[in-house]
Amino acid sequence: MRLFLAILIGKIIIKLTRFLKLGGGSAAPGLYALKIDPRLVEKLVKKIPQNIVITGTNGKTTTARMLAHLAKEAGLKVIRNHTGSNLERGIASVLITHYQLPTTNYQLGIWELDEAAFNTVVLKIKPDIIIFLNVSRDQLDRYGEVDKVVNDWCNTLSKIDPKTTILINADEPDFKKLKNYFPNIKAFGKKDLKNTKLNGLKGSEFRIQNSEFRINLPGIYNIYNALAAITCAKLLNLPVKNLTNFQPAFGRFEKLPFGYIFLIKNPTGATEVFKTIAPHIRPQDRLLLALNDNIADGTDVSWIWDADFEKLRTTNSEQRTICSGKRAYDLAVRLKYAGFDTKYIRVEPSLKKALREAREGLKGQLFILPTYTALLELQKILKSHYWEES
């Protein structure tokens, strides 16, 4: 009865937020429904035959999308928290939205959980497989230090049903410890990859066992995401087809008519992006970087000093670069100390104005590197912009 009421209230909030156009409705319905029935996630997830949980610092959304893609190609009906709302309330919202009486006919649940939410929510989801992607310094103000994140995961693992399959990245040194807390851990990593070929911004090719794969996402880090998704799909006995038609989530790697967007949000992820794109930046191209310090970005911007902006510097000292966002000047200082010529650095905190300026007289491509909330803002600007144009 309580569950029924919680779902009902949740569904009403979803309808209301949509009707009143109050945000995306990705958290509020779940938040209130959980107040009515704190065991809602547990009760609803139980109705889905198989569940996967994905956690780690970088690549959660991309891996979840890839796995969903493979599962859908294999004909499964998939439910997942695709909004990137990876706290318990986000998951509750998804479950409520798609919950239909009398039964729900989803066959596979794919749930991405952030580093902290993982420890509580995974015990409610009781998944068949847990994937640990990687761990590195992320929002210290929210998650704490890397050692603490891994220690908490170890504690959680010791409470998990031993029948669960744990799948870890074998090449992540900080994951060695996890093995002491769970009897049987499977791993994916370099050992599984053959004939790896990076085709610049076009994507990559690689071979796993006897199958050739091609993904339209650049960078080694995306090969790891694909490898995690493919390994998991195989554990589920899905017929694994190619990922050629896979479309990434907005901003993880976005091809625009006038350039590209790459989300940057922590030192390791950002440095990987810099290494991936720097060789492809030509003199006529421009850079637009946007740094915010909202809660979803992390309120501490000192992480930019741990990211290797030196790797983003091209041989062309006259590369036009625009810094934007609430912390635009912090970014500009970081670039100056990374060896960028200040004559070619422009600072424009307003993202809308910065984008307009960056596109004015642009002869090459524009590389846009925003933090999370700057990406959301950018998405809005681009949407309305395209709407105006069409």
Residues that bind another protein (CB under 8 A): 137, 140-141, 145-148, 299-306, 327-330, 332-334, 336-337, 342, 345, 347
Residue 300 or 318 having the CB closest to another protein:
300
HSE of 202, CA atoms in CB hemisphere, 13 A: 5
Residue 218 near residue 198, CB atoms below 8 Å: yes
Integer Cα distance of 222 and 247 in angstroms? 13
Residue 3 near residue 37, CB atoms below 8 Å: yes
Residue 333 or 382 having the CB closest to another protein:
333
Residue 143 or 206 having the CB closest to another protein:
143
CA distances from 249 to 47, 69, 327, 374 (A): 27, 12, 25, 15
Closest CA to 142 of 59, 265, 309, 305: 265
Integer Cα distance of 338 and 333 in angstroms? 9
Amino acid making up residue 329: Y
| Residue indicated by tokens 């569940």 | 51
| Min separation Cβ 292 and another protein, Å | 12
| Min separation Cβ 251 and another protein, Å | 24
Residue 365 or 373 having the CB closest to another protein:
373
Pairing of strands 204-208, 211-215: antiparallel
Token pair in block for residue 208: 């796993």
| Min separation Cβ 150 and another protein, Å | 10
**CA 349 remoteness from chain centre:** 25
| Min separation Cβ 329 and another protein, Å | 4
Residue 328 or 369 having the CB closest to another protein:
328
Token pair in block for residue 140: 């210290």
Token pair in block for residue 76: 């499964």
Residue 136 or 169 having the CB closest to another protein:
136
Residue 91 or 331 having the CB closest to another protein:
331
| Min separation Cβ 132 and another protein, Å | 19
Q: How many CB atoms lie within 10 A of CB 366?
A: 19
| Min separation Cβ 330 and another protein, Å | 5
Phi then psi dihedrals of residue 47, to 5 deg: -80, -10
Integer Cα distance of 338 and 340 in angstroms? 6
Residue 325 or 370 having the CB closest to another protein:
325
Integer Cα distance of 105 and 314 in angstroms? 52
How many residues belong to the chain? 390
Residue 336 or 380 having the CB closest to another protein:
336
| Min separation Cβ 338 and another protein, Å | 8
| Min separation Cβ 149 and another protein, Å | 10
| Min separation Cβ 298 and another protein, Å | 10
Residue 30 near residue 13, CB atoms below 8 Å: no
